[in-house]
Structure 1
Amino acid sequence: MKDKQGSDMSPVLIKQGDKDSLAREWHSLQSCESHYFRQAKAWLVDDNVLVLDYVEGESLLSLDSEQAALFLYLLPQIVRAISVLHQQGWIHGDIKPSNVLFDKRYLKITLIDFGAALPINTMISSQSSIQLTPGFSPESRSYQNHKVTEKDDWYALWQWVLQLKKQSEQGVLTQRESKQLARWLMWLEMKGC
């Protein structure tokens, strides 16, 4: 959206944080382009502020076990978003439900919060700080000699799908959905999880 003078009037998100995670987010989003990621517009280094495109949507954290079919519908998009990021040489580093937005109107997802993103094969020891989410990060990621790889993101997604499987054991999923879930788990295990 432009005003009469041609200036960009699109809505933005102002994100404050620590310098290291904002730097990782800025550099990863400058290196990676996809409709699956919101773009960074500016990094105000002295103010520790990142200006990002505003993206409509709700976090997938808001999905409950009754919406498992919707998650299974969105899972191919999540896999494609992660794959696109990997193809561009980056690891997200914090794949989890709260870092995926879902736009109900267009049935599309956006991967957010690149504060833990690193180039593939970066040694953890080269970072002054690192962000981990218990339950979604492989234990090895907390070791100083850990080199980040695609497996880190696939492990996080595998943990997420495992959580859904545990919920599905309560009879929430149809037989077809349970089989679909089992196939996704098998695929993720082939990725090294």
Structure 2
Amino acid sequence: MTWASGQHLQGGKYTIEHELGEGGFGITYRAKDNYGRLVVIKTLNDQVQRRPDFAKFQQDFINEAIKLAKCSHPHIVQIHEVINEDSLWCIVMEYIDGENLASRVENQGVLSEAEALGYIQQIGEALTVVHNNGLLHRDVKPQNIMLRSGKTEAVLIDFGIAREFSHNLTQTHTGMLSDGFAPIEQYDKRTKRGAYTDVYALAATLYSILTGEVPTIAPIRAINTSLEEPIKINPSISNRVNQAILYGMQIKPENRPQSIEEWLPLIQLPLNANTSSSHLFFLSDLSSPVAMEYHRLNRLLAARNWKEADQQTRTLILCIANRSTEGWLRDKDIDTFPYQDLHIINQLWLEYSNERFGFTVQKRIWENVNKNVDRFGNRVGWRENKSWIKYSNYTFNLNAPEGHLPQFLEVLGFVWKSGWFGAYWDGNLSRLYSFISRLEKCKIK
């Protein structure tokens, strides 16, 4: 059953104007209410209506509609009400005057990075609300993101295959998906699902609106066909955004950010808007010779979780030097520490702290105090009243003194003993000088 132009629903409350589109499950119409306002009415299409399990589809449709109605957000299409017309459940929602992102790119070319990130940020915030309500969208793509006419506002639409989910539990999926935007787990009807499923699709959407191309589909990528980096298609894409897209589109779900909240900070502008591009750090600028993975540190710093980031830095340094068991570095470990990894750690700290923390800051302070250990400790806030403070008394926010983080004394073997670092007062300063010397040799300045 389909509705023709001029057909009245709900006793004349709504009048069908024309069909807007039809998908695998649903069909949408533009209509007017009895006040002359435009609305969209969505219901199950004729093909689904003829299925023997139509009753189950109806029940799923109404259940998800009710849940979606609870997802109130400026960048989620607003549901006005759920109605029943001739035993057919329908969703009445706002009509968005404008075009979708796919049409925008097709008509005007790829978006600037700033414009694209603005829209993706809005949709990411909308998806966070969806996920917090126990739903996955499962069909995020440029065609399902509307742009309000005359405004820089994006709205997420078409929740036709949205489903409830329990994070990482195996559940049955429908077979509907959008090639290029669907992650590998959506190609298996019985698989684990999570917010990371929509993370992939959102990252793929950003890929598409910045390059004008649909990404290589996940099953092809899964058999060792590389995804062309977006920056190679559009060189104006920043390294930061290029890296964030690739991270969000990792084939294995466990290798992606596990939530939208984890991924969004990676595409946000640096805290210091005046920092020139030559001073900005991007994960793709340097590769670790020991194949170290820095995404967790990146996420922690982006989230301003300074304490966990400091602890993760210590873990990384020890792991790189193969000294995790011992818990401290020897002189020879410091002298051979990979300069690329020092740069990566340093630049991450510099960028996310607005150049308040990091090895560069610490080295500058070290030189300003004429390489005096006690004065250095006082300046960076590691000493108070002539005593080295406990780690629990450190300040893990941007109100801390410059150079306060990352704290590297423990990895140099400085052990806390009754109010002082034993290794330091035992006269064993060689590792401290070796570490500063390594920073100098690695041209960290």
TM tier, shorter chain?
A: 0.7 to 0.9
Name the SS for the 1:95 alignment partner.
coil
Q: 1:31 to 1:66 in 2, by over 3 A?
A: closer
Answer with 43-52 or 145-154: which moved more: 43-52
Cα distance between partner residues in 1 of 2:232 and 2:178: 25
Structure 2 unaligned regions, length at least 5: 1-32, 49-53, 212-227, 251-255, 264-445
Task: Give the alignment partner of residue 43 of structure 2, picking from 16, 34, 37.
Answer: 16
Q: CA deviation at 1:54?
A: 1.4
- 1:161 is aligned to 2:224: no
AA aligned to 1:93 is R
1:3-35 deviation digits (Å, cap 9, x = unpaired)? xxxx98342112232463743651332232112
> May I ask how many residue pairs the two structures share in their alignment?
182
Task: Give the alignment partner of residue 83 of structure 2, picking from 22, 43, 63.
Answer: 43
Q: 1:106 to 1:54 in 2, by over 3 A?
A: same
AA aligned to 1:52 is M
Q: 1:132 to 1:75 in 2, by over 3 A?
A: same
Cα distance between partner residues in 2 of 1:187 and 1:169: 16
Cα distance between partner residues in 2 of 1:58 and 1:14: 18
* Percent identical: 23
Paired position in structure 2 for 1:68: 112
Paired position in structure 2 for 1:96: 141
Superposition TM-score, scaled by structure 2 size:
0.36
- 1:134 is aligned to 2:179: yes
Answer with 69-78 or 161-170: which moved more: 161-170
Cα distance between partner residues in 2 of 1:143 and 1:54: 34
Q: Does structure 1 conserve the Cα–Cα contact (< 8 Å) formed by 2:139 and 2:177?
A: yes
Aligned counterparts, 1:92-131, within 5 A: 92-121=137-166, 123-125=170-172, 129-131=174-176
Please tell me whether Structure 1 or Structure 2 has the larger radius of gyration of its CA atoms. 2
- 1:191 is aligned to 2:230: no
Cα distance between partner residues in 2 of 1:38 and 1:168: 32
Paired position in structure 1 for 2:238: 178
Q: CA deviation at 1:133?
A: 1.2
AA aligned to 1:51 is V
Q: Does structure 2 conserve the Cα–Cα contact (< 8 Å) formed by 1:28 and 1:118?
A: no
Superposition TM-score, scaled by structure 1 size:
0.76
Q: Does structure 2 conserve the Cα–Cα contact (< 8 Å) formed by 1:24 and 1:116?
A: no
Cα distance between partner residues in 2 of 1:51 and 1:145: 31
Q: 1:108 to 1:61 in 2, by over 3 A?
A: same
1:37-93 deviation digits (Å, cap 9, x = unpaired)? 122222326235322121222110113243233223322112111112112221111
Q: 1:68 to 1:109 in 2, by over 3 A?
A: same
Name the SS for the 2:140 alignment partner.
coil
Q: 1:28 to 1:147 in 2, by over 3 A?
A: farther
Q: Does structure 1 conserve the Cα–Cα contact (< 8 Å) formed by 2:98 and 2:149?
A: yes
Task: Give the alignment partner of residue 53 of structure 1, picking from 94, 103, 109.
Answer: 94
Aligned Cα root-mean-square deviation (Å): 3.0
Answer with 32-41 or 20-29: which moved more: 20-29
Answer with 67-76 or 149-158: which moved more: 67-76
AA aligned to 2:66 is H
AA aligned to 1:44 is N
Cα distance between partner residues in 2 of 1:180 and 1:77: 19
Q: 1:123 to 1:39 in 2, by over 3 A?
A: farther
Cα distance between partner residues in 2 of 1:157 and 1:118: 17
Structure with the larger RCO, 1 or 2 (CA within 8 Å, 6+ apart):
1
Cα distance between partner residues in 2 of 1:152 and 1:170: 25
Answer with 83-92 or 110-119: which moved more: 83-92
Q: 1:66 to 1:155 in 2, by over 3 A?
A: closer
